[in-house]
A and B are shown apart, each in its own frame.
Chain A
Amino acid sequence: MTDTTVEPTPSTPAPLLEVDNLITRFPIRAGLFQRTIGHVHAVEDVSIHVAPKETVGIVGESGCGKTTFGRSLLRLVEPTSGSVRFDGRDVIAAGGKEMKRLRREMQIVFQDPYASLNPRMPVHDIISEPLRIHGTGKKEARQKASDFLAAVGLLPEHGNRYPHEFSGGQRQRIGIARAMALQPKLIILDEPVSALDVSIQAQVINLLEDLQEQFDLTYLFIAHDLSVVRHISDRVVVMYLGRLAEVADRNAVYDRPAHPYTASLLSAVPIPDPDLEGKRQRIMLQGDIPSPASPPSGCRFRTRCPIAVERCATEEPQLAEVEAGHQVACHFPLAAGETLVERVRSMGRTLDLLDGRSVAST
Chain B
Amino acid sequence: MAAPLLEVEDLTVSFPVKNGEVTAVRGVSFEVHRGETLAIVGESGSGKSVSVMALMGLLPDDTRIGGRATFDGMELLALDKKRLREVRGRRISMIFQDPMTAFNPVFTIGDQIAEAMLVHDLATKAEARTRVIELLELVGVPSPKQRADQYPHEYSGGMRQRAMIAMAIANKPDLMIADEPTTALDVTIQAQVMEVLADIQREVGAALILITHDLGVVAGVADRVNVMYGGKVFEKAETRKLFYSSKNPYTRGLLESLPRLDAEEGARLVPIPGSPPSLMAMPAGCAFAPRCTHKVDICAERSAELIDIGLDHQTRCHLAHDLPAWEPDRAETPA
Given contacts A61-B187, A199-B272, A280-B334, contact A272 B44 (CB under 8 A): no
B240 touches A275 (CB 8 A): yes
Contact partners of B291 in chain A: CB under 8 A: 199
Are the CB atoms of A202 and B213 closer together than 8 Å? no
Taking a contact as CB atoms under 8 Å apart, the answer to whether A198 and B213 are in contact is yes
Q: Check if A285 sits within 8 Å of B188, measured CB to CB.
A: yes
Complex Cα spacing A201 to B243, Å: 20
Sample (18) of A-B pairs whose CB atoms are under 8 Å apart: A168-B44, A197-B44, A198-B43, A198-B257, A199-B254, A201-B257, A202-B269, A224-B187, A227-B260, A230-B263, A231-B263, A269-B187, A270-B216, A271-B216, A271-B262, A272-B260, A274-B219, A282-B191
Is B321 on the interface with A (CB-CB < 8 A)? no
When the two chains form the complex, which single residue of A61, A62, A203, A269 contacts B261, counting CB atoms closer than 8 Å? A269
Q: Complex: how many Å from CA A348 to CA B258?
A: 38
| B residues 211-232 touching A (CB-CB < 8 Å) | 213-220
- Tell me the complex Cα distance, A271–B329, Å: 11
Query: Of residues B158, B254, B259, B268, which shows the largest number of chain A Cβ atoms within 10 Å of its Cβ?
Result: B259
Residue pair B187, A279 in contact (C-beta under 8 Å)? no
Q: Are A274 and B188 in contact (CB under 8 A)?
A: no
- Chain B CB count within 10 A is highest, among A199, A226, A269, A275, for A199
Pairwise interchain contact B195-A228, C-beta atoms closer than 8 A = no
The answer on a CB contact under 8 Å between B43 and A197 is yes
- A354 proximal to B (CB < 8 A): yes
Say how far B236's CB is from chain A's closest CB, in angstroms.
16
Chain A 207-235 residues near chain B, CB threshold 8 A: 209, 224, 226-228, 230-231
A288 x B156 contact (CB < 8 A): yes
Within 8 A of B (CB), among A240-290: 251, 254, 264-277, 279-282, 284-285, 288-289
A200 and B190 contact, CB distance less than 8 A: no
Interface contact A272-B243, CB-CB below 8 Å: yes
Q: Is A327 close to B, CB under 8 A?
A: no
CB distance from A252 to the nearest CB of B (A): 12
B243 and A274: CB pair below 8 A?
yes
In the complex, the answer to whether B191 meets A284 with C-beta atoms within 8 Å is yes
Chain A residues lying within 8 Å of B195, measured Cβ to Cβ, are 284, 354, 356
B306 CB within 8 Å of chain A: no
Complex formed: what's the CA distance from A62 to B188 in Å?
A: 11
A167 within 8 A of B: yes
Which parts of A306-338 form the interface with B (CB within 8 Å)?
none
Cβ–Cβ < 8 Å partners of A55 in chain B: none
A289, B260: Cα distance in complex, Å: 25
What B residues does A289 contact at CB under 8 A? Answer: 156, 186, 188-189
Q: How far is the CA of A201 from the CA of B271 in the complex (A)?
A: 8
Of all chain B residues, which has the CB nearest A339?
Answer: B335
**If the complex has contacts A197-B276, A226-B261, A273-B329, are A205 and B269 also in contact, measured as CB distance less than 8 A?**
yes
Contact mask for chain B residues 310-335; partner A; CB cutoff 8 A; 1 contact, 0 none: 00000000000000000001110011
A-chain residues with CB within 8 Å of residue B275 when the two chains form the complex: 167, 169-170, 197, 200
Q: Interface majority SS on A: helix, strand, loop or mixed?
A: helix
- A198 x B254 contact (CB < 8 A): yes
CA distance A289 to B335 in the complex (A): 25
A206 at the interface (CB under 8 A from B): yes
A-B pairs under 8 A by CB, number: 156
Chain B residues packing against A (C-beta within 8 Å): 43-44, 156, 158-159, 186-192, 194-195, 198-199, 213-220, 239-240, 243-244, 253-255, 257-263, 265, 268-273, 275-276, 291, 329-331, 334-335
Q: Which of A206, A254, A271 gathers most chain B CB within 10 Å?
A: A271
Contact of A231 with B269 in the complex, beta carbons under 8 Å:
yes
Q: How far is the CA of A63 from the CA of B207 in the complex (A)?
A: 35
Q: Which among A202, A224, A267 is the interface contact of B271 at CB below 8 angstroms?
A: A202
Q: Are A230 and B219 in contact (CB under 8 A)?
A: no
Contacts of B329 in A (CB 8 A): 273
* Other-chain residue from A61, A168, A199, A281 in contact with B257 (beta carbon distance below 8 A): A199
Besides A231-B263, A270-B191, 18 other CB < 8 A contacts? A61-B186, A167-B276, A199-B43, A199-B253, A199-B272, A200-B271, A202-B272, A205-B259, A206-B271, A227-B261, A269-B261, A270-B194, A270-B217, A270-B220, A271-B261, A271-B262, A272-B243, A273-B331
| A251, B218: Cβ atoms closer than 8 Å | no
Are B271's CB and A356's CB within 8 A? no
Instruction: Give CA–CA (A201, B270) in the complex, Å.
Output: 10
Closest A residue to B191 by CB, please name it. Answer: A268
CA distance A269 to B181 in the complex (A): 16
Complex-state Cα separation, A267 to B190, whole angstroms: 12
| Chain B proximity of A191: nearest CB distance (Å) | 13
When chains A and B are docked, how far (Å) is the Cα of A273 from the Cα of B334?
11
Q: Are A228 and B43 in contact (CB under 8 A)?
A: no
For the complex formed, measure the closest distance between the CB of A339 and the CB atoms of chain B, giving whole angstroms.
9
Residue of A nearest to B275 (CB): A167
Is B187's CB under 8 angstroms from A265's CB?
yes
- Among A271, A272, A281, A356, the one with the most B-chain Cβ atoms within 10 Å of its Cβ is A272
Closest to A267 in B: B335
Bound-complex Cα distance A267 to B334 (A): 11
The 8 closest A-B pairs by CB, nearest first: A270-B216, A202-B271, A61-B186, A231-B259, A272-B215, A202-B269, A202-B257, A197-B43
Please provide the chain A residues from 80 to 109 with a CB less than 8 Å away from any CB of chain B in the complex: none
Residues of B within 8 A of A227 (CB): 258-261, 263
The docked-state distance in angstroms from the alpha carbon of A226 to that of B263 is 12
Contact assessment for B261 and A356 in the assembled complex, using a CB-CB cutoff below 8 Å: no
- Nearest chain-B residue to A226 (Cβ)? B261
What residues of chain A lie closer than 8 Å to B43, measured between beta carbons? 197-199
Contacts of B44 in A (CB 8 A): 168, 197
Question: Are A356 and B199 CB-contacts (below 8 A) given A62-B186, A197-B213, A202-B259?
Answer: yes
Distance, CA A203 to CA B268, complexed state (A): 11
| Complex-state Cα separation, A257 to B330, whole angstroms | 22
Q: Are A274 and B240 in contact (CB under 8 A)?
A: yes
Would A272 and B334 count as touching, CB distance under 8 A?
A: no
Q: Tell me how far the C-beta of B140 lies from the nearest C-beta in chain A, rounded to whole angstroms.
A: 9
Please, which residue of chain B has its CB at the minimum distance from the CB of A281? B334
Give the CA-CA distance A61 to B276 in the complex, in Å.
Answer: 29
The answer, among B192, B215, B273, B331, for a CB contact under 8 Å with A276, is B331
